[in-house]
Amino acid sequence: MNYRLSIRLEQLERATERLIQSAEALGERAHQSPGPGRWSAAQVVQHLLVSETGINQYLEKKIQEAEGLRHAGVGHFLRSRLLRVLLRLPFLRFKTPAYLAARTPETAPSLPELRQQWGSVRRHLEQILNEYPEPLMRRAIFKHPRSGMLTMAQTLDFMVDHVLHHQKQIERIGKVVK
């Protein structure tokens, strides 16, 4: 695996573990919604699991179509950086893309089950990264719904920031559910 990708995967692993532990620390309250139309901590974990599953599927598809991938330029870099900044702003919230919301069941399974599923999905991502061809490192491979095309490294950066963004959400949920 490319060194830059392995560092990002390690960051993603740490952020994910912290997020799951935060949800688990809520105990039974992890499935309690903080208010009408708001996700429980377990639903947040499920959302991230569904998101990563979709990313894996998209990456596999695009790797098969590698000849058609464009080189990433300055615009890709700038949009990726803007996305990172926006995800880190504590007061900013994003609407879940419709296709992702449609794939997310309304009721979340138990946290141990989500942890087990996520472990499997993460091993799949690790396999994709282990086999990722070096010549594709500077090509845009993943289409983010708001920032557009990202390289593999930028995709992993997004995934880390996405988990960190939802970590803050779980912390807010923990303060509300009693």
Q: What is the pLDDT of residues 14-57, one digit of tens each?
A: 999 999 999 999 999 999 999 898 899 999 999 999 999 999 99
The Cα-based distances of 88 to 11, 107, 166 in angstroms read 15, 27, 10
Amino acid 22: pLDDT: 97
The answer, yes or no, to whether residue 79 has pLDDT greater than 90, is: no
Mean pLDDT of 56-80: 86
pLDDT tier for residue 69 given thresholds of 50, 70 and 90: confident
Query: What sign for the dihedral angle of Cα 113, 10, 21, 99?
Result: negative
Residues 6 or more apart whose Cβ sits within 8 Å of residue 106 = none
Q: What is the pLDDT of residue 97?
A: 77
| Mean pLDDT within 159-176 | 94
Q: Of 54-58, 97-101, 120-124, give the lowest mean pLDDT range.
A: 97-101
Domain ranges of the chain: 3-176
- Model confidence band, residue 122 (pLDDT cutoffs 50, 70, 90): very high
Q: At 101, is the pLDDT very low, low, confident or very high (cuts 50, 70, 90)?
A: confident
- Across the range 158-165, mean pLDDT stands at 95
Name the CATH topology of 3-176. Answer: Four Helix Bundle (Hemerythrin (Met), subunit A) (1.20.120)
Q: Is the pLDDT of residue 175 over 80?
A: yes
**From CA 90, how far away is CA 92, in angstroms rounded?**
6
pLDDT confidence tier of residue 89, bands split at 50, 70 and 90 = confident
**Predicted confidence (pLDDT) at residue 2 exceeds the cutoff of 90:** no
Inform me whether the pLDDT recorded for 144 exceeds 80: yes
Average pLDDT taken over every residue of the chain: 90
Long-range contact set of residues 6-14: C-beta below 8 Å, sequence gap at least 24: 6/129, 8/153, 8/156, 8/157, 8/160, 9/125, 9/126, 9/129, 9/156, 11/156, 11/160, 12/122, 12/156, 12/159, 12/160, 12/163, 13/122
Q: What number is the average pLDDT over the span 63-80?
A: 83
